[in-house]
Structure 1
Amino acid sequence: MARIANYSPIRNVFVLMLENRSFDHMWGRSGIPGLTVPAPGTSNSYNGTSYPVSSPAPTAMTGDPGHEFADVLEQLAGAGATYPPGGPYPPITMSGFASNYATTTDEDLPPPTADHIGDVMMEFDTPTQMPTSYALATSFAICDHWFCSIPGPTWPNRFFVHGASSAGLEHAPTTAQIVEWETVAGFVLPHGSIYDALTANKLQWRLYNDNTDAYSDNPQNGSLFGALPQVTALKNVTLLEVNSLTHFASDLQGPYPYQYTFIEPNYGDVTSNTYVGGSSQHPMDDIYGGEALIKGVYEAIRNSPLWETSLLIITYDEHGGFYDSVAPPPAAPPADGSGTAYNDTGFAFDLLGVRVPAIVVSPLIAAGTVDHTVYDHTSALATVERLFGFGALTARDAAANDLRHLFTQTTARTDCPTTLPAPVARMGRVLPDGASEAAAAAEDDLPLEDSGNLPAFLATARKAAYDTYATTPQERAIVDEEYAAITTRGEAKAFVARVMAKATLVRDSQPRPAM
């Protein structure tokens, strides 16, 4: 396989992955010529009412649209659709988004009121509501056939961007399944992660996250859970290796020997399942924080000595339950020996998930590029593997299209913007309907749910303790005792507060690598 020096000066690949938005939801009314978007009159119906695609979308939702495997099944194939173990997936009609939003209980939140069911069909007035992203997309490339890796939720899709597999997981993990993870080592991908592969090939990688919640316009409503990077759930990745984005711009000004950099947002208030006060653009949070994060990451790279050798990919882990008009295509199963321990439905991993936004940035890409190539999250891995000359992790990334064909400029462009427009100030409510200090206090008494993001992040916090300050059997026994005693959301918050205070102290006391 050819090394990068044979055809391209790209030396540094950056990936920023945000949360839970579909392509049509964010770009269907952008007005960018050539995009594949819904035809006029497109709609879903529920209970005799038609919900057409319309604009502008609310910048924060009143509820969290469903995105578990069963939710996506209904969204893609309509109400009443079933998936027989092992498949095949039923015929895809893209007809069940409104009905699912109106009825799902998978996100542990009340269903929307009748006047908000149609919100899931709505599209942003992108130039007006998302000026930061719009400027970036029109200055470089927007990909209108980038799909998430499976028709399911956050955790398996994020595992795919790290390892072209989810070890068979197709849903948010349950507490019982989390217990089966190797708690000291972390979540094991059968063929390892991209970080393992880079290390094995004597290449370097680096991780960042928005641990200080520096980009939200509503950080007081976030939580320490939101500062936990999901990547640290993996085997061979620890909290000690995740750097604060507060250092990102300055790090890029010096020597930067890292071929691959992955960046996570702040996830906001994970405890309440609202994710407000973060920078991930999760549906119930305002989009401001994510727009500000995109601006900060781009400008740090653009104004660094690395700019002419850099590639930045900005995408979203999954569609978050929002309507999209393009049916997902078939996919190559990872074929990595993943067992059935984490697979509740018998899903064969032979179908991509819903289309998500993706912007690809490099001075070697022509302004105004609209790319119709089919991608999924493993396309980021395939790009890195083929740029730097090492093999695929699984059959999925081996089959994935990469981004190299977008480098159409023989020399770096000199007209790329050095700054992006500021995000639009918050429009509408700050907190979900009915939120108050009293409601937050009552929420602390709610029982810890058995599956979903909260238990998974809680397990990641325990691993963070192991990776930093609880390194002896006696210290880990104390952490395990505290972890086992958690029964409520308030106790979960208290546990994470203790862990993050100690773990952050250890991490920040470590000498930072010389650049």
Structure 2
Amino acid sequence: QQFEGLAGKQLSNTTLEGEEVGVHPYSGPTDRVMRSPDPDPGEEYPFVNTQLFGTVDPASNAGHRVFELEPPYNAPHDDTAADMSGFLADYIDKFRGEHGRDPLPEEYRQIMGSFTPEMLPVFSTLAREFAVYDHWHCAVPSQTFPNRSFFHAGTSHGFVTNAFHPAVGKWLDPLLNTGTTIFNRLEEAGIPWRVYYDERQLVSLTGMLHAPHLEKYWKSHFRTMKTFYEDVANGTLPAYSFIEPRLTFDHNDMHPPVGPLTRTDIHGKVIEGGGISDVRAGEALLHRVYTAIRESSTATGSHALNTTLMVTFDEHGGTYDHVPPPHAPAPPLPAETEMGFRFERLGVRVPTLVISAYTPSAVINDPMHHGSLISTLTHRFGLTHLTARDEHAPTIQNAHTLTSPRSPASWPSTFPLYSPPNPESVDPTADGDDDRPLSPPGIGLVALLLARYAPNDPVPHTYREAYDAIHRHGEGLFGV
């Protein structure tokens, strides 16, 4: 099977002035490449509409931030097929709205750039040696929280943004965050599960996002990554485990930087530089998780021969793709949804790998989406589906086609590139990088925490503010 990638294709987008910019590998100094695209592209629903359809509607939406936009939020008025023509125009427009100036050519060209296999050796090695999906789409053409909600709940409850309208507290409201999650289905069936989060972050985004359904399990079913590696070594992984990267300071979630090319106004204070980001940190995380599983060899319990590692991303992050998202069944929806979206089409493709002893080296062209995770678990354990979205989703059984397991001794070793130390990996100091702004997932996570425990406090936007807020309100909430 051929991989539906960018290599060898004459693909491009055009600026409003008529300049055509083709797809290309990132180039330049290594540290700059590994932090691309820089600054962060648009991720919210209206910006993704522009990326997919090339539309700005009404025209007055141009150059404005998400909370200033008006209906129909750049969405087409009919069932127009996405032509993937607006990534470049949207990046330029969002840049103007955020920074008050036109980007330079070398700044806007990067939205059409991509990493080569050599730049991401861990992901590339595992993609070549195991199964890689080239038509796995995220659930919602928007940002982090709605897509992560779909991943485990089969719905985002009619929401398409992290915290636009209503505000971030919508995720904590049991009258709005209805239904259930696959974790609850597993619990009811007596099937063990755990969510692993980074110990330095103190709180789990999954736990906060699904708080109306999961808060009662925060102490019993949530553990740190230190415990994850112990569970792997001891053969005590549960039937289903979910791993979260770090999302706030010193993040290894591969999220692009925020504002390092300009002076950024945070709470009325001008800050030089943006949040520190480097995709090599995400590579290092994947390397460590994969290596721990490959080397696990307990006589009983979990080990390399009976563990499947699935790797994916919540959403595309505003970066270019050429494959239009398909339609999909909508879950049950409230009468009014955020920004009027009806959830009948998916979001942009995301990289997805499946690694197991029963998985050959393969490119899988089958259409897949985030509902496939719930579908896989419900079929595996005989559980009831959650919504129409996961009920009709294919499972990842198409990646498990070997009848005899591959010996872990034959699995490839991975070698991540050197990842420079991040100043945010230590406690904030007055003369350090404590005033750097957070990425949107980091802001969203801390905003959820405050909405639950300190609703009158301002939402942190910097490393120091987030560090202080998480330690003040998050210590002791989750199991370790």
Structure 1 segment 219-368 matched on structure 2, within 5 A? 224=201, 228-234=204-210, 235-238=212-215, 239-240=218-219, 241-256=221-236, 258-269=238-249, 277-284=250-257, 285-304=277-296, 305=298, 306-334=303-331, 336=332, 338-340=333-335, 343-367=337-361
* Distance apart, 1:486 and its partner CA: 2.4
Alignment equivalent of 1:485, drawn from 457, 464, 472: 457
Q: What is aligned with 2:128?
A: 138
Stretch of structure 1 that moved more, 242-251 or 152-161? 242-251
* Distance apart, 1:253 and its partner CA: 3.0
Contact 1:153 1:172 in 2 (8 A): yes
- Between the two structures, name the one with larger relative contact order (CA 8 Å, sep ≥ 6): 1
- Does the alignment pair 1:387 with 2:357? no
Contact 1:43 1:53 in 2 (8 A): yes
Q: What is aligned with 1:77?
A: 53
Contact 1:131 1:421 in 2 (8 A): yes
Q: TM-score, normalised by structure 2?
A: 0.79
Task: Please give the alpha-carbon distance, in whole angstroms, between the structure 1 residues aligned to 2:97 and 2:184.
Answer: 33
Q: What is aligned with 1:409?
A: 402
Structure 1 stretches of 4+ moved >6 Å: 427-431, 436-439, 441-444
* Distance apart, 1:89 and its partner CA: 4.6
Task: Please give the alpha-carbon distance, in whole angstroms, between the structure 2 residues aligned to 1:457 and 1:248.
Answer: 21
- Does the alignment pair 1:36 with 2:4? yes
Task: Please give the alpha-carbon distance, in whole angstroms, between the structure 1 residues aligned to 2:341 and 2:253.
Answer: 28
Q: What is aligned with 1:56?
A: 26
* Distance apart, 1:193 and its partner CA: 0.5
Contact 2:132 2:352 in 1 (8 A): yes
Contact 1:87 1:347 in 2 (8 A): no
CA, structure 1 residues 110+208, in 2 after alignment: closer, same or farther (shift >3 Å)?
Answer: farther
* Distance apart, 1:442 and its partner CA: 6.2
* Distance apart, 1:289 and its partner CA: 1.0
Which ranges of structure 1 fall in alignment gaps of 5 or more residues? 1-32, 213-223, 270-276, 467-478, 509-515
* Distance apart, 1:113 and its partner CA: 3.4
Q: What is aligned with 1:114?
A: 105
Contact 1:65 1:107 in 2 (8 A): no
- Show CA shifts across 1:122-162 (max 9, x none): 12111x11111111111110000000001111110000001
Q: What is aligned with 1:30?
A: none
Contact 1:77 1:93 in 2 (8 A): yes
Structural RMSD (CA): 3.2
Which ranges of structure 2 fall in alignment gaps of 5 or more residues? 28-32, 59-70, 258-276
Q: What is aligned with 2:65?
A: none
Task: Please give the alpha-carbon distance, in whole angstroms, between the structure 1 residues aligned to 2:84 and 2:193.
Answer: 38
* Distance apart, 1:418 and its partner CA: 5.2
- Show CA shifts across 1:171-193 (max 9, x none): 2223743344546x6x9643300
Task: Please give the alpha-carbon distance, in whole angstroms, between the structure 2 residues aligned to 1:72 and 1:89.
Answer: 16
- Show CA shifts across 1:469-490 (max 9, x none): xxxxxxxxxx44xx40326646
Q: What is aligned with 2:139?
A: 149
Task: Please give the alpha-carbon distance, in whole angstroms, between the structure 1 residues aligned to 2:422 and 2:368.
Answer: 35
Q: What is aligned with 1:125?
A: 116
- Show CA shifts across 1:71-110 (max 9, x none): 1100000142578589645331111111111111699567
Q: TM-score, normalised by structure 1?
A: 0.74
Stretch of structure 1 that moved more, 38-47 or 378-387? 38-47
- Does the alignment pair 1:202 with 2:190? yes
Task: Please give the alpha-carbon distance, in whole angstroms, between the structure 2 residues aligned to 1:169 and 1:106.
Answer: 27
CA, structure 1 residues 117+189, in 2 after alignment: closer, same or farther (shift >3 Å)?
Answer: same
Task: Please give the alpha-carbon distance, in whole angstroms, between the structure 1 residues aligned to 2:99 and 2:409.
Answer: 43
CA, structure 1 residues 417+494, in 2 after alignment: closer, same or farther (shift >3 Å)?
Answer: same
Whichever residue aligns with residue 236 of structure 1, its letter is: H
* Distance apart, 1:459 and its partner CA: 4.0
CA, structure 1 residues 355+487, in 2 after alignment: closer, same or farther (shift >3 Å)?
Answer: closer
Task: Please give the alpha-carbon distance, in whole angstroms, between the structure 2 residues aligned to 1:35 and 1:42.
Answer: 16
- Show CA shifts across 1:221-277 (max 9, x none): xxx58x6434432123244332111222221233536211111000143xxxxxxx3
Alignment equivalent of 2:393, drawn from 395, 400, 405: 400
* Distance apart, 1:374 and its partner CA: 0.6
Task: Please give the alpha-carbon distance, in whole angstroms, between the structure 1 residues aligned to 2:76 and 2:180.
Answer: 25
